[in-house]
Each structure stands twice: as C-alpha cells, then as structure tokens.
Structure 1
Amino acid sequence: MANKKAGKISQVMGAVVDVKFDGELPPILNALHVDNNGQRLVL
C-alpha cells in the first residue's frame, strides 16, 4: 500500500460509497481501506 491517499466518506447509498479527496485522487481500480470501529474494511 505505497502512495496512500487519505479521503473522507461523504455519503453511502446502498452499494455506492462517495469519498472526497482534498488532494490528488488515488489511481483508478484501487481498493479503499476503511476503519470501522477497529475493524478494517476493504471496499
């Protein structure tokens, strides 16, 4: 996981997750790794 880009989830609608990145976007087709109360989720 080199070149990590931090973003914030702005909205979830069903299976669609909107993520806002303040800087550069990560390369397309990369997984999103999310912390869910201490559990790691990979989207």
Structure 2
Amino acid sequence: MAQVQGKIVQCIGAVVDVEFPRDQMPKIYDALKLEGSALTLEVQQQLGDGVVRTIALGSSDGLRRGLMVTN
C-alpha cells in the first residue's frame, strides 16, 4: 500500500488533528509517523472532511501546523 501524506491542522497538548485527502483517511488506531521525527501519532477519531484526531505517543514539543505526517 502506498504511503499517504497529511498535514497537522491543530495541536493542543498531546491531541493533534491531521488532515488527509478525503478518500484516503487513516483508520482508527492507525499509527502515523511525523516526518523528520521519531514521534508516532495514534488515530483516535475520524472527524470528517479528511481530518482525524490523534494522540501523540511521546512529547509534542515543537509540533506546529503544516508539518507533514505519513500513514
């Protein structure tokens, strides 16, 4: 399966919302990798319109909107 890229649209503490193409949204409990970092995000909820809510499985220091994430 090809890797799908999304971008961070909101970050509040350990809760991170990530936007993907609408037809390629990750499934709940999928692990997402942050580019250029060892941080993993776990999908907890599909919010609709291609946006998923995730939990950072580590420190979310330095996260900001626009960073790329890979499913």
- Report deviation, 1:27: 1.8
Asked which structure has the greater RCO (Cα within 8 Å, sep 6+), the reply is 2
Percent of pairs with identical residues: 45
1:39 maps to a residue whose letter is S
Could you report, residue by residue, the CA deviation over 1:1-43 in whole angstroms, capped at 9, with x for unpaired residues? x4422110011001110001123201211111002xx333212
TM-score (norm 2): 0.46
Alpha-carbon RMSD:
1.6
Runs of 5+ consecutive residues of structure 2 not aligned to the other structure: 42-71
TM-score (norm 1): 0.67
In the TM superposition, structure 1's runs of 4+ consecutive aligned residues that sit over 4 Å from their partners are none
Equivalenced residue count is 40
